[in-house]
Amino acid sequence: MQIRGIVLIACILIAATAFAGCTGTVQQPAETPTATPTPEPTTAAPTPTPEPEPYPDALAVDEFYHYGTNETGREVTVDRYMLQDSYRIHHPDWGMRETVVSPAAGNQFLFVYLKVKHAGTAKELYTPYPGSIYAVADGVSYSHRADRAESVTTVLDARGIEDYTFQKIYKTQTIDGFLIYEIPASVTAGDIYIAMNLGNDEVAAFDLA
């Protein structure tokens, strides 16, 4: 009878151990973290800064710029202009013959017609020097064709207007004349300023746009 009791206790202990093993906490495998992609940095395209106007106070064609004192006052303007791929000249000794002048390849001619008024009290004054009058386009300054100053030929395309020269101008007088510039053919009138250096750091500028 004692032996049967021992066997019964042993069976109970074995069953209890097995049951405890079945109801224990099962370890779950650790989850592998999913990598989150790092977004590529984005750089905003820079906003282009517009080029400053070289002559923000430039006058329009046919507007007069006054300079000098009450005594030495003068008024200057660009009266009109023309862009041409050539021009015709004539010499008195040529009879009816004329010659066509062409620019270098890739260039064109700019005709600038100027007016200067004596607006002071002095008896006589001088016009601005032609060499101080420039055509400015895309940051580049162009001088006029100085060879015209020594020429005795007439520019037929100028329609009766003579070359602009450095000269005396008398009280109440107005003179006019043209200068010719050779500039790149890609330049348009909207790109061009006429800048007159009047001395003492004073510049009169005209916008051909």
Give tens-digit pLDDT for 64-75. Answer: 999 999 999 999
Query: What are the strands of the beta sheet with 65-67, ordered from one edge?
Result: 65-67, 74-84, 107-118, 174-184
pLDDT band of residue 94 (cuts 50, 70, 90) is confident
| Structure-block tokens of residue 197 | 């250096």
**Higher-scoring residue by pLDDT: 81, 160:** 81
**Please, what sign has the CA dihedral across residues 159, 190, 201, 180?**
negative
Q: Where in the chain are the domains?
A: 59-207
| Structure-block tokens of residue 86 | 């050539």
Long-range contacts of 8-13 (CB under 8 A, 24+ apart): none
Q: What is the pLDDT of residue 147?
A: 83
Q: What is the pLDDT of residue 22?
A: 47
DSSP alpha helix (H) spans, 90-204: none
CATH topology of domain 59-207: Immunoglobulin-like (2.60.40)
Q: Is the pLDDT of residue 7 over 50?
A: no
Q: Is the pLDDT of residue 124 over 90?
A: yes
**Higher-scoring residue by pLDDT: 76, 52:** 76
- Distance CA(171)–CA(102), nearest Å, equals 39
Q: Is 182 helix (H, G, I), strand (E, B) or coil?
A: strand
In the chain, % of residues over pLDDT 70: 75
